[in-house]
């Protein structure tokens, strides 16, 4: 199973999953860390392994299993050693790629600025479509991050993805490779086969009462009921807190003043720059002399973008004329703000000095509008306050509830403290679970081996919080024969059908005479004989799994193949037919995209091998 885990890490899937889900993953947490990892963690390829890295790797491993086995999969049900190895593999990929990204210079100020822009634009940290510094700080702080450490984590992830994609983004495939691939996939086969139809055979099976009773007795484990659980719960709803929000007298005026400041700061000013890196010169004076010469060219009327392409030492923006996109105060250094304050469209700044570089800035776009009046945004300001404060009040109660749970308070005691009504759920098993809130974490906890009766447990649902306590558990038990009679009959018929198919197959293959075989086959209406000429690898005439066996076999032999629906095939492979040159020419273009995908998969496998074979793992935890 661990080998299949490693195979799943192959290719773009892993980092794409991590990056697409990175923001929510950071806030999910996992219950598996405490029992698996403790103490200092060491390094991988020279990169320190922190508790945050363990958290991300654990969350990624959990999500990966869910993507394979479904959202109901409980990662904590796995053996501790297996969980530790799964998380270790995630860590190796995470840190090897991060080390590679750092060695290539992908973790830099520019990549950090891109991450900061993404955070500002993320709906997770917005209120009414506008980035809220308070919401951002509250969310990252409540999950153990500072604002700066969260940016660092996201920058490392983004740089690692850029490093990985720089290898797999190549999609060049040679003409010979494409022709070989086309030749392989256009190959066809001439076959004769006998098919034993599983469903038709099963329908003809008759089970006696004695057989059913004996099967039930011999296979009782199959007829146990599912464990059932019900729970009591209370709900905290953010909307209920909104009525308790009082608007301070000065709030509207203060908020409007802040809005005007934010509006001024968000004026759409696009800038470009030319940079000279001090470290590229013997001294600061030499670097200053270089930027001065560039400034002289600009003063003489030379085109800014052309000069940037020719002389700028910023490798990220040089080829695009020094374009830095739209200016934002929180992203760029304050020296830029001072240099831009009095510039109009197409104006060029004086030389700007930073600790490690010199810059010349140009305003390339400017779109400044008048802010709305206080009256025009009054409702929006009030809604923003109510939204933020109601969320904060609910989170305060959430923190209090968690402390009460730690102090072994019951659900009734918590409900009394919050003046909330306790509700009761239906009795559920894992098959019929349909609680009103469609949240997998509720179901995961309910049917987890770690859940305890009469022990409250709190789950954050975003704008709601549920506190539940299991109040009834019906253990799995053997169901009476009368209530599972249909299931017993179905299981027995399936067993008989499979045995019958195998016996028929052996008998058919043992008959050497065509006449005798035809006579034998004609005695059963669920056995047919047929032949195909020129059937291809991806034909719909036969099940895919059967075709895979055919095209992985040799011509001139007889094979046996089982389909996923239970049908049995006895196949004589008469010959394989290679496509003609004209046939290849007619279809080769159709395989261009597929050929690129094959190449990318090969590159991904190479990267995967490099990650696991060449990783320098120095982890202190003895579990590894």
For 531-546, how does the pLDDT look when each residue is reduced to its tens digit (9 = 90+)? 999 998 888 899 999 9
DSSP state letter for 159: H
The yes-or-no verdict on residue 30 having pLDDT over 70 is: no
Question: Where residue 70 falls among pLDDT bands split at 50, 70, 90?
Answer: confident
* Rounded distance between C-alpha atoms, residue 35 and residue 81, angstroms: 10
The yes-or-no verdict on residue 599 having pLDDT over 70 is: no
Q: Do residues 78 and 31 touch, judged by C-beta distance below 8 A?
A: no
Mean of pLDDT values over 85-107 = 83
What pLDDT is recorded for position 220?
93
What pLDDT is recorded for position 622?
41
Residue ranges in 250-342 assigned as alpha helix (H): 251-265, 284-299, 304-311, 334-340
What pLDDT is recorded for position 262?
67
pLDDT digits (tens, 9 = 90+) for 492-531: 999 999 999 999 999 999 998 989 999 999 999 999 999 9
* Rounded distance between C-alpha atoms, residue 9 and residue 18, angstroms: 11
The tokens for 511 are 């008959």
The tokens for 67 are 């993507």
What pLDDT is recorded for position 32?
37
The yes-or-no verdict on residue 601 having pLDDT over 80 is: no
Most confident of 173-187, 446-460, 589-603: 446-460
The yes-or-no verdict on residue 17 having pLDDT over 70 is: no
The yes-or-no verdict on residue 9 having pLDDT over 50 is: no
* Rounded distance between C-alpha atoms, residue 171 and residue 174, angstroms: 10
Of 31-40, 345-354, 518-527, the poorest mean pLDDT is in 31-40
Question: Where residue 79 falls among pLDDT bands split at 50, 70, 90?
Answer: confident
Mean of pLDDT values over 383-396 = 88
Q: HEC states along 521-577?
A: HHCCCCEEEEEEEEEECCCCCCCHHHHHHHHCCCCCCEEEEECCCCCEEEEEEEEEE
What pLDDT is recorded for position 326?
76
Beta bridge partners of 272: 323, 362
* Rounded distance between C-alpha atoms, residue 366 and residue 374, angstroms: 24
pLDDT digits (tens, 9 = 90+) for 245-260: 888 777 777 777 777 7
What pLDDT is recorded for position 22?
40
The yes-or-no verdict on residue 261 having pLDDT over 80 is: no
* Rounded distance between C-alpha atoms, residue 47 and residue 57, angstroms: 14
Cα angle vertex 32, ends 150, 238, to 5°?
60
What pLDDT is recorded for position 302?
93
DSSP state letter for 448: S
* Rounded distance between C-alpha atoms, residue 604 and residue 591, angstroms: 20
The yes-or-no verdict on residue 16 having pLDDT over 70 is: no
Closest C-alpha to 390, from 456, 457, 465, 459: 465
Query: Which residues, 6 or more positions from 101, have their beta carbon under 8 angstroms from its beta carbon?
Result: 107, 156, 159, 160, 162, 163
Report the percentage of the chain scoring pLDDT > 90. 42
The yes-or-no verdict on residue 339 having pLDDT over 70 is: yes
What pLDDT is recorded for position 471?
93
Q: How many C-beta atoms lie closer than 10 Å to residue 546's C-beta?
A: 22
Backbone angles phi, psi at 455, to 5 degrees: -120, 110
Mean of pLDDT values over 431-451 = 87
What pLDDT is recorded for position 265?
58
Of 84-88, 233-237, 459-463, 583-587, the poorest mean pLDDT is in 583-587
The yes-or-no verdict on residue 418 having pLDDT over 80 is: yes
DSSP 115-150: HHHHHHH-GGGEETTEE-HHHHHHHHHHTT--HHHH
Of 237-246, 261-270, 397-406, the poorest mean pLDDT is in 261-270
The answer, as to whether pTM is greater than 0.85, is no
Note the Cα 459 to chain centre separation in Å: 22
Of 50-59, 199-208, 323-332, 447-456, the poorest mean pLDDT is in 323-332
Cα angle vertex 111, ends 106, 112, to 5°?
125
Mean of pLDDT values over 454-479 = 92
Mean of pLDDT values over 336-344 = 87
What pLDDT is recorded for position 7?
34
What pLDDT is recorded for position 546?
93
Note the Cα 64 to chain centre separation in Å: 7
Mean of pLDDT values over 449-475 = 91
The yes-or-no verdict on residue 38 having pLDDT over 80 is: no
Q: Do residues 593 and 182 touch, judged by C-beta distance below 8 A?
A: no
């Amino acid at each position: 199973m661990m080998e299949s885990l490693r195979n799943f890490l192959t290719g773009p899937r892993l980092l794409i999953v991590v990056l697409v889900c990175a923001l929510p993953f950071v806030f999910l947490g996992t219950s598996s860390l405490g029992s698996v990892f403790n103490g200092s963690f060491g390094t991988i390829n020279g990169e320190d392994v922190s508790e945050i890295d363990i958290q991300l790797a654990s969350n990624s491993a959990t999500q990966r299993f869910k993507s394979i086995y479904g959202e109901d999969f409980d990662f904590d049900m796995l053996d501790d050693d297996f969980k530790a190895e799964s998380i270790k593999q995630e860590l190796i990929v995470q840190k090897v790629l991060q080390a590679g990204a750092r060695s290539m210079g992908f973790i830099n100020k520019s990549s950090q600025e891109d991450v900061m822009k993404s955070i500002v634009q993320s709906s997770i940290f917005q209120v009414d479509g506008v980035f809220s510094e308070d919401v951002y700080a509250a969310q990252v702080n409540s999950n153990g991050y500072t604002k700066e450490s969260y940016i660092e984590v996201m920058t490392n992830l983004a740089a690692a993805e850029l490093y990985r994609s720089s290898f797999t983004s190549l999609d060049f495939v040679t003409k010979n490779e494409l022709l070989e691939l086309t030749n392989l996939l256009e190959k066809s086969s001439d076959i004769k086969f006998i098919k034993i139809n599983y469903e038709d055979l099963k329908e003809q099976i008759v089970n006696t009462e004695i057989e059913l009773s004996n099967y039930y007795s011999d296979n009782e484990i199959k007829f146990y009921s599912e464990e059932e659980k019900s729970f009591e719960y209370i709900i905290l709803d953010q909307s209920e807190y909104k009525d308790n929000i009082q608007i301070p007298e000065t709030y509207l005026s203060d908020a409007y003043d802040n809005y005007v400041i934010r509006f001024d700061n968000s004026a759409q000013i696009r800038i470009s720059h030319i940079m000279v890196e001090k470290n590229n010169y013997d001294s600061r004076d030499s670097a200053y002399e270089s930027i001065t010469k560039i400034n002289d060219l600009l003063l003489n009327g030379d085109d800014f973008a052309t000069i940037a392409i020719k002389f700028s030492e910023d490798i990220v923006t040089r080829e695009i004329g020094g374009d830095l996109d739209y200016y934002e105060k929180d992203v760029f250094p304050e020296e830029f703000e001072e240099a831009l304050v009095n510039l109009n469209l197409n104006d060029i700044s004086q030389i700007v000095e930073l600790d490690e570089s010199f810059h010349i800035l140009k305003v390339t776009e400017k779109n400044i509008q008048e802010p709305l009046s206080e009256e025009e945004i009054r409702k929006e300001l009030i809604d923003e306050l109510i939204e933020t404060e109601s969320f904060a009040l609910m989170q305060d109660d959430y923190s209090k509830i968690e402390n009460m749970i730690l102090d072994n308070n019951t659900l009734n005691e918590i409900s009394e403290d919050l003046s909330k009504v306790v509700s009761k759920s239906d009795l559920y098993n894992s098959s019929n679970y349909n609680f009103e809130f469609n949240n997998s974490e509720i179901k995961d906890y309910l049917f987890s081996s770690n859940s305890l009766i009469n022990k409250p447990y709190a789950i954050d649902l975003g704008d709601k919080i549920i506190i539940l306590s299991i109040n009834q558990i019906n253990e799995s038990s053997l169901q009476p024969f009368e209530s599972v009679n249909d299931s017993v009959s179905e299981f027995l018929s399936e067993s008989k059908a499979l045995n019958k198919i195998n016996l028929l197959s052996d008998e058919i293959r043992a008959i050497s005479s065509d006449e005798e075989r035809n006579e034998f086959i004609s005695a059963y209406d669920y056995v047919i004989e047929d032949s195909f000429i020129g059937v291809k690898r991806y034909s719909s005439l036969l099940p895919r799994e059967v075709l895979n066996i055919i095209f992985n076999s040799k011509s001139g032999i007889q094979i046996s193949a089982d389909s996923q629906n239970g049908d049995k095939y006895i196949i004589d492979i008469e010959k394989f037919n290679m496509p003609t040159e004209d046939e290849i020419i007619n279809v080769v273009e159709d395989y261009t995209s597929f050929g690129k995908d094959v190449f990318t998969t090969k590159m991904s496998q190479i990267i995967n091998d490099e990650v696991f074979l060449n990783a320098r793992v120095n982890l202190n935890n003895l579990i590894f």
